Structure 1
Amino acid sequence: MHKGSFYSVAQYGQLLLFLLIFTISCHGQGTTNLPKDSKSKPKTTLEGQPKMIRTQGVLSGNVGCDLQDKAGNVWFSTGGEGVYRYDGKSFTNFTTKDGLNDNDVSAIIEDKSGNIVFGTKSGLCKYDGKSFTNYLKMGSLSNAHITCLLEDRDENLWFGTMGTGIYRYDGKSLTNFLNNDDHPFNLGAHYQLIMDILQDKNGNLWFSSWNGGGVWRYDGKSFKNFLPSADYYRSNEDGRSVTSYLPVTSYLPKVINPLSREFLTDDMIFSIAEDKVGNLWFSSRRHGACRYDGKSFTSFREKEGFVSYGITSILEDKKGNIWLATDKNGVFRYDGKTFKNFTTKDGLINNSVRSILEDKAGNLWFGTRSFGLCRYNGKTFTIFSENEARQ
């Protein structure tokens, strides 16, 4: 095992499978025009109620709700079927046959120029409305697994990867960050997975990590790392304990300040969201969600009326409600006072939800694991998958 790893070989395999499930959101190289042959054009579903996923119960059924572009189209990533674009009437499917560099897509954004940028298992790809271009095919990025994307206010492109940290591309040069993170809770380079990137109202960039790194805040000059308290590591649910490798007193002071109130609830963070008043919300693997007001963290777990396992995505809707997607318990809506749970009993297509997106009309889209896509209009759920089986 790598130095700082705390998992057995069997646990590594299980963790890798889990990561693959959830990561399914230049230089003028590799331009591919869309084929003129009608048989090779992107597949569009028109008849009846629009449907999206042709197979369920397999990895390609994993759906990410990633983006509504300036034209109003909603884009969805999948773990094996490329991407889907929904124009309000029909779905159009883009795959490698149409120029996409890989059918395993983790993230989609729209840049300031109106290009749709895709982060895939094989690097970066962008679509200008006519053709796909594979770009930044250099060095370690030639076949990098891109896990998340963000274009900042200065039009720098930031992206997280599986195994090689964070990159920033300013249009001319590429800079790599956090690739040499050596804190003792790092699960090894193979699991150095950056899950999400967010730029807050103050311009700070936040990065969440799956490899035990918690979250980082970048102010343009330096990084600040946020981790759980010392007690978390003295007795960790995963069986990871710093005492297995080093005496607590000899290492922890180098990692955290025990007197600080800036403690996360978990060191494995899926996603980050910012609410209207500037609070940051973090979703974790085992310890629910937590909210950061710039000074201290507030935890939301079972005792607050909220499930504590596997929070995969967080979103604040236009009404100010906080929505939290979970790995096993559907989605929760928090109105600032109480939590309401929505599951398959209420019409949700599946209780394992990996992403949430709100469109301009106020509809909420939920992408699930292995069971496709559904939309909630505030009253009812509509399913957009060929088979409407629920679990």
Structure 2
Amino acid sequence: MNHLIKIMCLISILFIPQNFAQIEVQSFLEGARVTDIKQEGGYLWVATYGQGIYQYSFKDGKWTNYSSKTSNLENDLFHCVAASKDFVWAGASEGLFIYSKKTKKWIKRKFAQGGEFGNWIRSLTFDEKKNRLWIGRFRNVTVFDVKANKFTDYNRIQNGDEKTNNFNTISFEGDSVVWFGAESGVHKFLNKQKIDDKSAWSYFKNSGRNFNTEGQSVSVTDFVFMPKEIWFGTDEFVTKDQPDYNPGGIYVWDRKLKWDRISKANGLGGNGIYSLVRTGNYIWAAVYEFNKNDKEEYGKGLYLINRITKKVTPIDLTELKLTTSNISSLYFDGTNLWIGSADGLIRLKIGNELAHLRK
């Protein structure tokens, strides 16, 4: 299933001042459509759309599959995954699947609120310190108190705009702030306050100076946090009738007034962003393009961006032995960059020169 490939390639853009370096690439889960990658202790958890959930042990390199073929899991189509020391949660279009490590059984949990698409789980993020799971649904965000075994739904509609309550992604900035990317704008929660405290929540969209007031709406797909700036990945959705609806691109906010946009004009292969991840002074971006004629998304590969100069460099996918340009998920474990695609999972070992560049 996996084979180790050692390749020599020109990557002077990555390692300074070296012109050549040896990099290690390893392929896993060939043929699987990877949708999410998370780490829990010594394990990596991978959600797929078609092959269920995979667990990888860093210690012994062993893979375990949870699917309709290998366990009592009745679904194989998942959008996201999260895990704690006791549980694994997997998000699907028909609800939340919960695996107990104690009983080794899966159960399915459906939600009464949210209407027809309320059980479409799009993002899962576990707060280990508070022992609670944040569940981003197509409608509503839900908090699961693991100790109390209690689910609480929150409707975050702003100014009557339903899309402000359609959640794409949830990210932690340290342990103090939870950020939510919605189909229309960004929600921010101060994590040290009570969830029911209205003053703990704030919201902003593409108005005023935010996102340079570009597009009719902004749909946020991912975040990268740094002390002096935040990078926002956004969706591209443009049609002949609405050519500026979601212009897409990466927005860089200096946490004050300045917003910069990185897009096709700067060298990206498309304006749609599936995933962002940081390694040292570089940001990796998984990119797609929305075709206004057939209204479909087309993967456009992987790009490396110098966070200081904002220079964009395309990654040669053939050098990484990637067989598709449809890259959906990125995760950096501190040593390796995991690249999830429509045709499997790649592990790219990142040298110290890249992972620990001067900040």
Same fold (TM over 0.5): yes
The 2-side partners of 1:84 and 1:129 are apart by: 18
Q: Provide the aligned C-alpha RMSD in A.
A: 3.1
- Does residue 340 of structure 1 match 2:313? yes
**What's the counterpart of residue 175 of structure 1?**
152
- Does residue 110 of structure 1 match 2:86? no
The 2-side partners of 1:264 and 1:132 are apart by: 48
The 1-side partners of 2:224 and 2:252 are apart by: 9
TM-score using structure 2 length: 0.69
- State the shift of 1:341 in Å: 1.0
**What's the counterpart of residue 315 of structure 1?**
277
**What's the counterpart of residue 356 of structure 1?**
330
Q: Which has the higher helix share?
A: 1
Q: Which amino acid aligns with 2:325?
A: N
Aligned partners of 1:343 and 1:350 also within 8 Å: no
- State the shift of 1:350 in Å: 1.6
1:231-250 CA distance string (max 9 Å, x none): xxxxxxxxxxxxxxxxxxxx
Mapping 1:6-155, distance limit 5 Å: 51-53=28-30, 55=31, 61-71=32-42, 73-87=43-57, 89-97=61-69, 98-111=71-84, 113-121=85-93, 122-128=95-101, 131-134=104-107, 136-137=109-110, 139-140=112-113, 144-152=119-127, 153-155=129-131
- Does residue 326 of structure 1 match 2:264? no
The 1-side partners of 2:256 and 2:99 are apart by: 39
TM-score using structure 1 length: 0.64
Aligned partners of 1:313 and 1:326 also within 8 Å: yes
The 2-side partners of 1:46 and 1:330 are apart by: 21
Aligned partners of 1:264 and 1:290 also within 8 Å: no
- Does residue 295 of structure 1 match 2:270? no
The count of aligned residue pairs is 287
Where structure 2 has 5 or more consecutive residues not aligned to the other structure, the ranges are 5-25, 237-247, 289-298, 352-359
Aligned partners of 1:313 and 1:324 also within 8 Å: yes
Match of 2:235 among 266, 272, 285: 285
- Structure 1 SS opposite 2:252: strand
- State the shift of 1:208 in Å: 0.7
Aligned partners of 1:273 and 1:316 also within 8 Å: yes
Q: Which amino acid aligns with 1:205?
A: V
Aligned partners of 2:48 and 2:76 also within 8 Å: yes
**What's the counterpart of residue 226 of structure 1?**
204
The 2-side partners of 1:289 and 1:356 are apart by: 16
